[in-house]
């Protein structure tokens, strides 16, 4: 039985910048960080020739594989019930129907975790369990249900900003972000302490907190999966769901899920094993801030070797700046699609910025 654990059962980055700026087409071969699979599925909906999903944690790949089989075999209502968006007493029976389509390692992994399946795989990750604890045992002391309902009833961006500043951002909310979302508590209970090895920002909780008003100024709260899930505990409205769980995308995902390849390992090793020019698009999440500068440069060199001309590299930065090293100046250039907008701010996740580089 695998002892690997799911760190994230969902993706918390905003997929829309990647969808817009990577401009994926039918001739593209894409490599993407797997994580919870959500953002890679969003890229698949653009119809690339192939999609290689990479993760160093085998538990994340077992999760993605189960989601792939659910996409392949379930209709929209069954899918929402199985993953946990909607109530369902049939999750274990659904898994039994999907089980034979899984590889042996994935079957062994999930056979020993039926309790997770019964609760819905959206809640299976360490980070999601941490969020659930905060919502159940901390948030009720900060805001009552009627305050939450009022917040999600705001009809305009201006109205929700005003409500946030005057009502929602009370001392308890500030305390939650500045202490619970700091690197010591979040790093141990929700993420992993090693993720902060290269972080120099002294107060990451305050960094999150100060950027929330900007997030609310750019996206209606009901269309923000991150805030909706954190505050309400689920995706309460169709427009709140991540893109891969929206009914209109399911037929396309069913058609193209067979184009996915799962690879276990570190990205630079997977790229090193690939052929020259094997990929044209690289969606690498925020893995670079978990690396030393030397390994970051090594990985970029593997990206260059594995990329075709006019390839594109997209990644996020959370707390650690990762400019292109001077030794690779001219090998990666800012993509003209961004012009003066790089980096792109994420309205879904307040501390992340999106970067896009073109490979001449």
Output the pLDDT for position 342: 59
Output the pLDDT for position 2: 64
Output the pLDDT for position 341: 59
* pLDDT cut 90: percent of the chain above it: 77
More confident residue, 2 or 321: 321
Looking at the predicted structure, is the pLDDT value of residue 282 above 90? yes
The mean of the pLDDT values for the chain is 93
Looking at the predicted structure, is the pLDDT value of residue 349 above 70? no
Give tens-digit pLDDT for 202-242: 888 888 888 888 888 889 999 999 999 999 999 999 999 99
User: Using CA atoms, how far apart are residues 210 and 201, in angstroms rounded to an integer?
Assistant: 13
Give tens-digit pLDDT for 182-208: 888 888 888 888 888 999 888 888 888
229, 235 in Cβ contact below 8 A? Answer: yes
Output the pLDDT for position 181: 84
Task: Read off the pLDDT of each residue in 318-339 and give the average, rounded to a whole number.
Answer: 88
Closest to 148 (Cα-Cα) out of 172, 127, 167, 122: 167
Output the pLDDT for position 346: 74
Output the pLDDT for position 223: 93
* 339 pLDDT tier (thresholds 50, 70, 90): low
Output the pLDDT for position 9: 97
DSSP string of 305-343, one letter each residue: HHEEEEEEEEEEESSS--PPPGGGBTTBEE-TTTGGGPS
Output the pLDDT for position 1: 52
| Residue 341: C-alpha distances to residues 7, 230, 234, 332, 354 (Å) | 31, 28, 32, 17, 10
Give tens-digit pLDDT for 19-67: 999 999 999 999 999 999 999 999 999 999 999 999 999 999 999 999 9
Output the pLDDT for position 145: 95
Output the pLDDT for position 224: 92
Task: Read off the pLDDT of each residue in 337-349 and give the average, rounded to a whole number.
Answer: 69
Output the pLDDT for position 208: 82
Looking at the predicted structure, is the pLDDT value of residue 12 above 80? yes
More confident residue, 134 or 182: 134
Output the pLDDT for position 257: 98
Q: Which tokens is 337 given?
A: 């699609």
User: Using CA atoms, how far apart are residues 127 and 8, in angstroms rounded to an integer?
Assistant: 6
DSSP string of 94-157, one letter each residue: HHHHHGGGS-HHHHHHHHTTHHHHHH-GGG-SHHHHHHHHHHHHTGGGT--HHHHHHHHT--SH
DSSP 8-state secondary structure symbol assigned to residue 180: I
Which pTM was predicted?
Answer: 0.95
More confident residue, 178 or 341: 178
User: Using CA atoms, how far apart are residues 280 and 274, in angstroms rounded to an integer?
Assistant: 12
Task: Read off the pLDDT of each residue in 231-258 and give the average, rounded to a whole number.
Answer: 96
Output the pLDDT for position 92: 97
């Amino acid at each position: 039985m695998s002892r690997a654990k799911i760190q994230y059962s969902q993706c918390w980055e905003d997929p829309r910048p990647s969808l817009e700026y990577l401009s994926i087409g039918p001739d593209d071969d894409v490599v993407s960080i797997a994580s919870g699979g959500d953002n890679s599925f969003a890229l698949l909906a653009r119809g690339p020739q192939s999609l290689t999903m990479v993760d160093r944690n085998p538990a994340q790949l077992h999760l993605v594989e189960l989601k792939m089989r659910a996409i392949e075999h379930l209709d929209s209502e069954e899918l929402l019930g199985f993953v946990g968006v909607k109530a369902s007493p049939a999750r274990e029976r659904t898994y039994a129907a999907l089980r034979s389509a899984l590889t042996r390692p994935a079957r062994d992994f999930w056979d020993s975790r039926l309790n997770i399946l019964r609760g819905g795989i959206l809640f299976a990750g360490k980070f999601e369990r941490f969020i659930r604890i905060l919502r159940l045992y901390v948030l009720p002391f900060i805001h009552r249900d009627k305050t939450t309902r009022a917040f999600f009833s705001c009809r305009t961006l201006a109205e929700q900003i005003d409500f946030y500043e005057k009502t929602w951002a009370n001392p308890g909310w500030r305390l939650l972000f500045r202490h619970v979302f700091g690197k010591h508590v979040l790093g141990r209970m929700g993420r992993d302490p090693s993720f902060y090895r290269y972080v120099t920002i002294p107060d990451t909780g305050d960094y999150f907190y100060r950027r929330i008003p900007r997030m609310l100024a750019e996206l209606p709260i009901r269309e923000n999966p991150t805030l909706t899930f954190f505050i309400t505990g689920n995706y309460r409205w169709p427009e709140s769901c991540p893109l891969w769980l929206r009914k209109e995308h399911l037929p396309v995902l069913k058609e193209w899920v067979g184009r996915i390849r799962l690879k276990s390992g570190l990205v630079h090793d997977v790229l090193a094993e690939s052929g020259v020019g094997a990929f044209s698009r690289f969606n690498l999440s925020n893995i670079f801030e978990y690396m030393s500068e030397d390994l970051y440069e090594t990985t970029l060199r593997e990206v260059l070797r594995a990329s075709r001309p006019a390839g594109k590299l997209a990644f996020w930065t959370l707390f650690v700046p990762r400019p292109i090293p001077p030794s690779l100046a001219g090998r990666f250039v800012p993509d003209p699609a961004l012009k003066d907008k790089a980096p792109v701010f994420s309205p879904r996740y307040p501390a992340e910025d999106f970067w896009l580089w073109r490979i001449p």
